[in-house]
Amino acid sequence: MKMNIKILGTGCPKCKTLEKLTTEVVNENNFDAEISKVEDIVQIMNYGVMGTPGLVVNEKVLISGRVPSKDEIKKLIEKHING
């Protein structure tokens, strides 16, 4: 089943960095994932995220308010591949 990954952010530099890193991780590891960007502040708040950027995998908020390392992103995605 294809994973659904969302980057929550209004377009700030940190949000763009998280999107870039996540895309690189997905491509480098051949993860079967679809990445989309959520820029609407109301939708972002619906996830309970008060600080951007946010990383959402299969509708679960995994990170908010900071940019994780590529290694951390990879580990988080791997944890959710089968769950």
Q: Which of 8, 15, 57, 77 is catalytic?
A: 15
Given the residues 10, 11, 12, 78, select the one marked as catalytic: 12
Task: List phi, psi (to 5°) of 22.
Answer: -65, -45
Specify whether 22 is catalytic.
no
Identify the DSSP state of 20.
H
Q: Does 15 qualify as catalytic in the annotation?
A: yes
Is residue 78 within 8 Å of residue 47, measured between CB atoms?
no
Residues with a catalytic annotation lie at 12, 15
